[in-house]
Structure formats: C-alpha cells, structure tokens
Structure 1
Amino acid sequence: MKRNKSWIPMWSIPCLIMAGGLLAADRLGGGEKLEQWMQTLAGNADFVQAALSSEIGAPGWESVSEHAPPTVSVSEIVAAQALPESMTDGESCDTDASETLVSESLFALPDNVQKAVDTSDAPTQTADGAAVKQLTITGQKGGYPGQDGVYISNDSGLSYDLGEMLASPLKITKNDSVEQPTVMILHTHASEAYVDQHGGRSEDPAHNVVYIGDVLTQVLQQQGIGVVHCREIIDSPSYNKSYSRAMEIIDAQQKQTPSLKVIIDLHRDSMITSSGMEYKVVSEIDGQTCAQLMFVMGTNAGGKTHPNWKSNLNFAANLQKQILADYPTLMRPINLRKQRFNEQATTGSMILECGTSGNTIEEAEVAIRAFGKKLAQQLST
C-alpha cells in the first residue's frame, strides 16, 4: 500500500526542527562536536528505528513503545531487520509487498508466551554479541480467533470463515511420479541465516535458509514426492525487488514444470528489540529443542489480484491443524497479511518462516524435518 507523500506525520516535526539545529551548529563551527553527537545518535537503536519507520512507512516506531506486557520483557520488540548496504540498491521496494523490506511477519502480541523448553546448550548471544532470549508462541492465550487449535493473526482487515475451512479442507495430492514434481521450494530472501552468522545473514547456502530448503527437499523426496528446489540467492546483491525476481523464477518454473501444486517460499523470521536483544522461538520434538514455524499468508487486501487467497488459507490452516495434532507447539499463529507475497501462483502457495535469527540452524533443521513429514502425509491422503 502506497502512502500519500503529501501527508506529514506529527512526530516528524521535531525531526525537522532538530535538522535545522544541526545545520546551525555546523555553520557556527561546532563541526567536530556535531560529528561526535551524530555518531552517538547512529548508535541509538530507537533513533535509527524511528528514522527507518519515517523513511519506508514501517510500523516500527509504534512497535517499540506499545503492546507487550512488561512481565514478558518483550515490550521493545520491533519487526525491522537491519540490512547490510550490499543488499540494497536504492530502488523502491516491491509494490506488491511494500513492507517486506522490513519483515514478512509482524511480532504477535505476546500474551500467549509459554515456558520454553530448555535450551541451555544453545548460544545465548548472536555472532554479533547481542543477547538471545526465547519464547514459545502458540496463540492459545493471545486473543486470536481460532478453532481446533488453529489460530490466526489477521493483519489483512479481511474476513474469512475458519470453521468452514476446517470442515471442508482443500485437498491437494502429490503427483503419481516423482518425475512430475509436486512441490517447488524457493527463498525470496535466501541470505537469511541463523544465530551463528554475523547480522543473521549469509550468502553461503550451507549456513542460510537454502540449507533448510535442502533438508525439506530430502524429506519430501524420501516420501516419494517430486521437488524442485531453487537454491538461488535471490536477494543478493540487491535486496530490493527480490519478490519481483522470485515471481519471475516461479513463472519460468511453472512453464517448465506445469505439474507444480505447492510452492513454499522458505524464510526465517526476525525478532530484534531496539536495544539489540534478539528472541528465538522454540518448541520441542522427541526431547530435541527446535525452532517454531509460521505460515505467512497473503490476500488481495493490498489491491493486487489474488482471487484464491481463501483457498490458500484453507490449505495452510488444515495443514497447520494436522501438524499441531502431533507437535502441539511447533506452529505459531498463521499471519494473514494484506500483501500477496507471490502466493497467487498456486492454491498451495505459502511463506513458511522457520525460526528467527536467534535460533540455531540445528533447531531449524529439526523443525523442518517434522514439517516435511506432515506435509508429505497431507499430500499423500
């Protein structure tokens, strides 16, 4: 959704006044002190977050100061991800997903945090030295609408009938031969990585979400499901327009492989506070700590054509129900958004967030193996 450029938010006025003061100080010979002060500001995460919010229209300013109860200690969580300069090119971000320069998912209201499993052996700091804390988010106590254990965080403003969807599941079945692939896996933000990588990003496919896609590919193929896995680092060297490039890849692959039914855009999420604290989302499977997963489902609320978004949501909701039957805390609430995120490609399209930048890649691998087994079951019935 594009903002009206003529509208000026009230909180920007102090910024303009401050800019005038800085210019005056420089003209009066205070250049050295001015530079020192600007360096201090650059290190202040709240100031940087506010500047980012004003530039790209992100909701980060509000997210810093509102929402979370102090008992959970996540009141400063923001959705913004800091991007290295090498991954931006000065272009405007995708008009179809105007907020994705910040993050696919928004942090859910944390009333629903449970006592997390023991992760004492996992890193307590990121590769950049930021502290890591953990959460388990299920939606059970967060006030989300839900049924049969499936909860939805609706940021789209649209209505849907979850009960009807769960009562009448959309059936998608695998193709008879692995030579006719059923599933496509790609990574619009392939450089997204985990806690061991500086900045939570890496272009090395052995250390980012491409590896998690490799694992998912293996699990599905072992269950007799044909898979096409795009391992291209789509968001490098340019992060902007990555969704547009991803759609081009999807279009080309569908022409080459018309048998595709399910398209999974595999990401990892990010929860970073204004003070640099990072949060990991955790569950447990057979005594092993693993990352939580989350579906991000698109709609046509942003003005883009997506007539089948309810069918996409139906498939994801019923898949989530089946996953939760075996792994009760593996899935976070489904995040329903205004943007399409290229999910108009098939009724089996979805974004899947596998953990956050605070999780380990091993935790992400345990989670995606469990997901792959349940997806294979769903496609085989």
Structure 2
Amino acid sequence: MFFKNYIPIIFLWLAITAGVAAYEFDHAERVFAMENEEETANISAFLIPEDKKEITQDQASLSNLLIPDEKIVSETISEEKNLPQVLIYHTHTTEAFRMTAESEYQETSEWRTNDENFSVVALGKLLTEEMEKYGFAVTHDRTDHEPPKLSSSYERSLLTMEKRSEENPALSLFIDLHRDAANIETAQDDFVVIDGKECARIMFVVGKGEKYEDKPDFAKNYALAQAICEELEKICPGFTRPIREKTGRYNQHAGEICLLVEVGHNANTLQQAKNAIPYLAEAIKKVFDGENSLFG
C-alpha cells in the first residue's frame, strides 16, 4: 500500500532524469558537430579557398609552394638571386658547323642549315637549359632573321629584341649567339680539351656604334665580356679568343647589357660547340653571382 502511493512519483522522477540526459547528450552532440564543422570549414578555406574568399598572405604563400607555376618560380629565383632575366636569340639563325658522321644535315647554303638540331639554335637551346639550372629566367627566341637577305639580318633581330622587351620589360641581358667563320683547312684543331672533352673556343664581339647617334654602352658590354672571359680562362687557359671590338653596334644599343658571343666556328663540330656551352653558362653565373660583381 505504501509502495503503491510512491509509484507515480518514481515514474515522474525517471522521466525527468531521462529527459535531462537526452537533452545533455543532444546538446553535447550539437556542440561537437558545430565545433567540427567550424574546424572543417577553416581547413577547407585554407586548402581550397573559394574564388571570392579573402586569402591571407600565409595561405597564398603555402598555395604557391604546393602548386608552383613554373614561370613564376623561375622569375622569382632570378629575382631572389639578383640575376638578370635573359633573352637568347640568333641574328644569323642558320649558322652550322663542320659535318661529321654523327651530325650530317641538309645545307641551305655552305655551312648553313634550317635544321635547328644542327644550327646555332641547338646551342641556344642548350645554353637556355644550362642557365636555368643556375636560376636564370631565360627566354630563347628561335626566329629565323636571315630571310630575305643575310645582309639585313640585324634589322630583323632588332625587331625581335624590341618585341620581346615589350612583352617582358624585366629583360636586361641580351645574348646574340653565333658561330664564327674560319678557314676550314687550317682551323680544325682550334679547340681546347676539358675533362677529356673537345670544346670549341669562345669569342665575344663588342660594338662601338661609331656611325650611330644611339650608341651601345660599350664600356659596360666590354666589361661584362672581359669578366666572362676571365672566368672561362680560369676553367681552361686558352678557352677564349681575344675580344673583337667593332665599329658597328650589332643591336647592342637596344638592351641594358648585350653580348654577341661566337661559340666556335664552321671548322669546329657541333659536338665541340655543345661541349663548351655548360662552361659558358657557369662563367656567366659566376660573374653575376660574385660578391664583388659589378653586374649582380
């Protein structure tokens, strides 16, 4: 009788207790879900930002690190190392070398070919690759400037320099890559041997622009050529031929710093010329990256 009087009270207490427990569990679950949702949203915003979402500087830096743009990375390295951005081009685009069994090509005229695999264009491609290894940002222009007349090639290569400079105003080092002409009968032994490899010798041409009102910066261009020669001579005495000073300007007025470099000549083989290229890139890097560099 006594117990029956308390049954309603017991059931009421059990109901209240169960309700409180259910509320606390539901509340805890919702709090956890909200916290988890906020954390997930933060992670999502950090890793996959929406187009219109504001991105913090740290997020942008990490994004660039994880998904780099090759061109941006190349230019950034060049800027961080205080290296110039470079244009490599060829005024005499079809200049080629003495043929061997390994390097036969179809001549367009004597010692010339339109096949880029055997002309100075192949050297430009290799120099681009070697300089990029050192952190230079390099553009290699393969335009054939010779047609319609070889004698007016410099007029057309000037247009290329101007066009490329307009596209990228940061360009400051212009390299016109050639091969020289020599007596095929007497100059076939004109090379040096470095690490067991025959390497074509290198020469620079620096223009004064004596007949022009708009003259090159002869002193600066000559100083750069001389500095590179000194580095090449450290690698191997006799690697360079004397710098050739000319009264013309060879478009060297059109850029901040300009080099006309002759890698070997027509009596050299393509392989001898190619073997010289990594050392040329190394010398250029040392000149611009030196502690006392006038150009870095």
For the criterion TM > 0.5, the same-fold answer is: yes
| Conservation of the 8 A alpha-carbon contact between 2:200 and 2:264 | yes
1:302 pairs with 188, 206, 211, which one?
211
Unaligned runs of 5+ in 1: 1-173
TM-score, with structure 2 as normaliser: 0.65
Give the Cα–Cα distance (whole angstroms) in 2 for the partners of residues 343 and 303 of structure 1. 12
Unaligned runs of 5+ in 2: 1-76, 100-104, 291-296
Question: Counterpart of 2:171 in 1: which secondary structure?
Answer: coil
Corresponding residue of 2:88: 185
Alignment of 1:355 onto 2:258: no
Alignment of 1:346 onto 2:283: no
Corresponding residue of 2:142: 231
1:260 pairs with 158, 166, 171, which one?
171
CA 1:270–1:307: 2 relative to 1, 3 Å: closer
Alignment of 1:213 onto 2:213: no
Moved over 6 A (4+): none
TM-superposed CA distance for 1:346, in Å, is 2.5
CA 1:202–1:192: 2 relative to 1, 3 Å: same
Letter of the 1:296 partner, please give it.
V
| Conservation of the 8 A alpha-carbon contact between 2:90 and 2:141 | yes
Letter of the 2:88 partner, please give it.
I
Corresponding residue of 1:243: 154
TM-superposed CA distance for 1:283, in Å, is 1.2
Task: State which structure, 1 or 2, has the greater radius of gyration over its C-alpha atoms.
Answer: 2
Give the Cα–Cα distance (whole angstroms) in 2 for the partners of residues 227 and 336 of structure 1. 26
Counting helix residues as a fraction of each chain, which structure ranks higher? Answer: 2
| Conservation of the 8 A alpha-carbon contact between 2:216 and 2:254 | no
Give the Cα–Cα distance (whole angstroms) in 1 for the partners of residues 178 and 216 of structure 2. 24
| Conservation of the 8 A alpha-carbon contact between 2:85 and 2:170 | yes
CA 1:344–1:329: 2 relative to 1, 3 Å: same
Alignment of 1:312-327 (within 5 A): 312-327=221-236
- Report percent identity of matched pairs: 28
Question: Counterpart of 1:232 in 2: which secondary structure?
Answer: coil
Corresponding residue of 1:376: 285
Corresponding residue of 2:72: none
Letter of the 2:138 partner, please give it.
V
Alignment of 1:93-242 (within 5 A): 175-176=78-79, 182-196=85-99, 197=105, 198=107, 199-242=110-153
Letter of the 1:252 partner, please give it.
K
How many residues align? The count is 204
Letter of the 2:243 partner, please give it.
I
TM-score, with structure 1 as normaliser: 0.51
Give the Cα–Cα distance (whole angstroms) in 1 for the partners of residues 84 and 139 of structure 2. 6
Question: Counterpart of 2:155 in 1: which secondary structure?
Answer: helix
